């Protein structure tokens, strides 16, 4: 029987139109999306002017997207949605290293480095020794783990944000562990930085009075045969922005001591063991 559209039966009217042979997963996802979207409009009694504004906001967000910028991902990040999807898809046992948001500043052409190398190429910032082990849940070393790291420079910008002033590959590196699973390299102590706020996301954060800084962090992506990929950060303990990260990426386990050291080569030392879970 046809269900004509009405406010009361809006969900049934829309979902009832799906063909019987629609892919079951697509059917489940779309039916739930329609249900919750309609419930949202009914809950807030959305006005026409508000919906028109939302369409304009989403259109402007799309227009800001290009090869070099993804305002929709930033929107997802600042709505906590990226972290929610990441959490659902990366549930791990106690003791394993937790995931956090990937972010928009990873590049594929990462410089391959030797263990112990300096990744900072602009001569700025306070040198920091990053050191640790890649291991399994029992503490056994993982050989051949590929560790991809990236951070902002001392001014709070990634190389891709300043292509005219920073060398490409600045504060980035790709390392492979040996039989002992150990890694170490020298970067800088990463300062906090604002997420890009000159677009629609910045407008939203300003309207909501929300902070737009991320606490200082070093990104790590670790891949090893037979183990689940880890995408994470080490956060600088004591950073004033830890409890108001614009993209909700902070997890207690990932807040690490950056110790001041008395050394000729480095001013800071940060130890971070990465514990991987076997793939099922
Ligand atoms: C980042 O950590 O690089 C990042 C993550 C999400 C949004 C913006 C930046
Ligand atoms: Fe970052």
3-class secondary structure per residue, 161-185: HCCCCCCCCCCEEEEECCCCCEEEE
Distance, in Å, from the CA atom of 246 to the CA atom of 80, rounded to the nearest integer, reads: 9
49 CB-near residues (< 8 Å, 6+ apart): none
Q: What are phi and psi of 122, to 5 degrees?
A: -105, 5
Ligand 1 pocket: which of 73, 83, 101 to mutate (most atoms <8 Å of CB)?
Answer: 101
pLDDT at 1: 63
Collapse the DSSP code of 191 into the 3-class scheme (helix H, G, I; strand E, B; otherwise coil) and give the result. Answer: coil
The residue whose CA is least distant from atom 7 of ligand 1 is 103
Question: What ranges in 140-261 are assigned the alpha helix state H?
Answer: 200-208
First to last CA, the chain: 46
Evaluate whether 232 touches 277 at the Cβ level (below 8 Å). Answer: no
Ligand 1 and 77: CB distance under 6 A: yes
Distance, in Å, from the CA atom of 164 to the CA atom of 155, rounded to the nearest integer, reads: 14
The share of the chain scoring above pLDDT 90, in percent, equals 96
188: pLDDT strictly greater than 80: yes
113: pLDDT strictly greater than 90: yes
Structure tokens at 112: 């391959």
Cα(105) to ligand 1 centroid in Å equals 7
3: pLDDT strictly greater than 80: no
pLDDT at 67: 82
Distance, in Å, from the CA atom of 234 to the CA atom of 200, rounded to the nearest integer, reads: 28
Instruction: List CB-based neighbours of ion ligand 2 within 5 Å.
Output: 103
Ligand 1 and 83: CB distance under 6 A: no
- Write out pLDDT tens, residues 122-131: 999 999 999 9
The share of the chain scoring above pLDDT 70, in percent, equals 99
Structure-token match 């490409």, residue found: 168
Ligand 1 and 74: CB distance under 6 A: yes
- Write out pLDDT tens, residues 12-69: 999 999 999 999 999 999 999 999 999 999 999 999 999 999 999 999 999 999 987 8
- Segment 73-99 mean pLDDT: 97
Ligand 1 and 214: CB distance under 6 A: yes
- Write out pLDDT tens, residues 195-207: 999 999 999 999 9
Whole-number Cα distances in Å, 25 to 21, 30, 32, 130 = 11, 9, 11, 43
Count CB atoms within 10 A of the CB of residue 259. 13
Provide the whole-model pTM: 0.93
pLDDT at 279: 96
Ligand 1 and 103: CB distance under 6 A: yes
Cα(15) to ligand 1 centroid in Å equals 36
Count CB atoms within 10 A of the CB of residue 166. 20
Largest interatomic CA distance in the chain: 80
The residue whose CA is least distant from atom 4 of ligand 1 is 103
pLDDT at 101: 96
Evaluate whether 242 touches 254 at the Cβ level (below 8 Å). Answer: no
Q: What is the mean pLDDT of the chain?
A: 97
Residue 263 parent element (H or E): none
DSSP letter at 176? Answer: E
């Amino acid at each position: 029987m046809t269900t004509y559209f009405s406010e009361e039966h809006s969900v049934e009217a829309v979902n009832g139109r799906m063909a019987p042979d629609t892919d079951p997963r697509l059917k489940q996802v779309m039916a739930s999306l329609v249900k919750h979207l309609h419930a949202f409009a009914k809950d807030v009694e959305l006005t026409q002017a508000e919906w028109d504004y939302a369409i304009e906001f989403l259109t402007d967000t799309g227009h800001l997207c290009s090869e070099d910028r993804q305002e929709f991902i930033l929107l997802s990040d600042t709505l906590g949605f990226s972290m929610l999807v990441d959490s659902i898809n990366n549930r791990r046992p106690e003791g394993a290293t937790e995931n956090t948001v990937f972010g928009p500043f990873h590049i594929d052409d990462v410089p391959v480095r030797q263990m112990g190398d300096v990744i900072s190429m602009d001569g700025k910032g306070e040198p920091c020794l990053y050191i640790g082990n890649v291991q399994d849940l029992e503490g056994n070393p993982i050989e051949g783990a590929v560790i991809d790291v990236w951070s902002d420079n001392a001014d709070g910008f990634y190389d891709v944000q300043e292509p005219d002033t920073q060398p490409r590959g600045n504060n980035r590196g790709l390392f492979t562990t040996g039989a002992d699973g150990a890694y170490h390299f020298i970067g800088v102590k990463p300062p906090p930085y604002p997420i890009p706020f000159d677009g629609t996301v910045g407008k939203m954060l300003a309207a909501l009075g929300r902070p737009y800084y991320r606490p200082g962090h070093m990104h790590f992506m670790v891949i090893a045969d037979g183990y689940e990929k880890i995408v994470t950060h080490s956060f600088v303990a004591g950073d004033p922005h830890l409890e108001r990260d614009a993209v909700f990426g902070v997890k207690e386990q990932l807040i690490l001591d950056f110790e001041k050291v008395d050394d000729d080569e480095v001013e800071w030392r940060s130890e971070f063991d990465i514990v991987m879970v076997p793939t099922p």
